[in-house]
Copies of this chain bind each other. A is one copy, B any other.
Amino acid sequence: MKKSERNEIIEKLTQIGKDVIQAVERSEIPKIEIPSRTTSNIVYDPEYLCYVIGDKKVKRSAGNIRHIRRLAQLLRVARFCKEEMQKSLRHTTKRELYYISESWEKGLKFDEQVESDNIIEDIEAMIGRPREDFRIIPNPRGSIYGDITLRYTTPKGDVKEVNCLDTPDGQAIGPRISEAEIIDCKADKVIAIETSGMYNRLMEEGAYHKFNAILVNLEGQASRATRRMIKRIHELLEIPVYIFTDGDPWGLHIAMVIMAGSAKSAHINRQLATPDAKWIGVTASDIKNYKLRSDKLKEVDYKRIKELSKDPRYKKDERLKKELELWKNLGKKAEQQALLRYGFEYVVEKYLPTKFKELG
């Protein structure tokens, strides 16, 4: 993260407190407004192709006895985040924040972790930034391998560089890599992969140099840090992103969450989504065309297809609509490893080149 970006976030966190102080100085009752995160305020943005948060706000007023504790706690958390960003290089987990609160002023201590978790999401919505940006971090999940050089700060405070080809098993997308500056990249595309097995396969078959690609291991549903990383690489370097999943509606949905965000993160989807990303497959058509070993769709898969068919994000894309329909008719699903019936190399020698041609 650049210094200017960090300062902007510190500024926004500070502003939450300043607004309260200014109200007091004007002899007004302090209140804050938080964009509402209830289902009724989640709307579909047809332009950005993702769910975003609407205009409804929740008010917390110091004049309301039922609001006052939560208002004070929100201010305290915002102050904590601001101060840590100013004085240290620390990243805090949600769980740590909950325990740290025990050392705070009386009455601010949280009774349950869900309370502090909620306040963190409130702050995300208020400043329009995912919590990673104010250093409340999730467990790392996902890694990256390819010819991209990142400049990061070590826990000790040294500034170093790492090329992601120099990490034997791929570079974990943890707090330091998430914030690293991209300073050089020779690759001209990103391939994001659902399973660790296929990620390793593409590493070992040399997909990163054959396709001049950055490989991203999603490890299932992509974590927010990974989605963020993909978006940053895509926007900064202006290179295409391809998503390679298992051949079932769940795999397609993993791709969709990268493209359009999830409903749960509606308040920050614009910061996380990569609407231009392209889903490679394994598609329902692939199962047919490549004669892949498949399993029968289960009740839960059919239910999922039905849900997705109703989702506005799928309605706009003829290809996705067609594939959902075909899945239903075919009644089958396949794992991405099923391509190995044609040998280890097939996926890089035939399958992916055909796909890149097809998808452009």
A contact set with B: CB distance below 8 Å = 89-91, 93, 95-96, 98-100, 102-103, 137, 139-140, 143, 150, 152, 154-156, 160, 162, 165-177, 180, 195-197, 200-201, 203-204, 206, 209, 219, 293, 335, 337-344
Docked complex Cα distance between A173 and B168 (Å): 9
Which of B96, B100, B160, B341 sits near A102, CB closer than 8 Å?
B341
Residues of the B chain whose Cβ atoms lie less than 8 Å from the Cβ of A335: 95, 99
Which residue of B99, B155, B170 contacts A172 across the interface (Cβ within 8 Å)? B170
Set B103, B143, B204: member contacting A91, Cβ < 8 A: B204
Q: Contact: A96 with B168, CB < 8 Å?
A: no
With A100-B340, A293-B99: A93-B200 Cβ-Cβ less than 8 Å: yes
Number of copies: 2
> In the docked arrangement, what's the CA distance between A224 and B152, Å?
31
User: A180 and B168: CB pair below 8 A?
Assistant: yes
Q: Is the CB of A103 within 8 A of B342?
A: yes
Q: Is the CB of B169 within 8 A of A140?
A: yes
Contact of A168 among B90, B95, B168, B174 (CB under 8 A): B174
Which B residues touch A140, using CB under 8 A?
Answer: 169, 196
In the complex, are the beta carbons of A176 and B166 less than 8 A apart?
A: no
CA distance A146 to B150 in the complex (A): 20
Q: Which residues of B contact A201 (CB under 8 A)?
A: 96
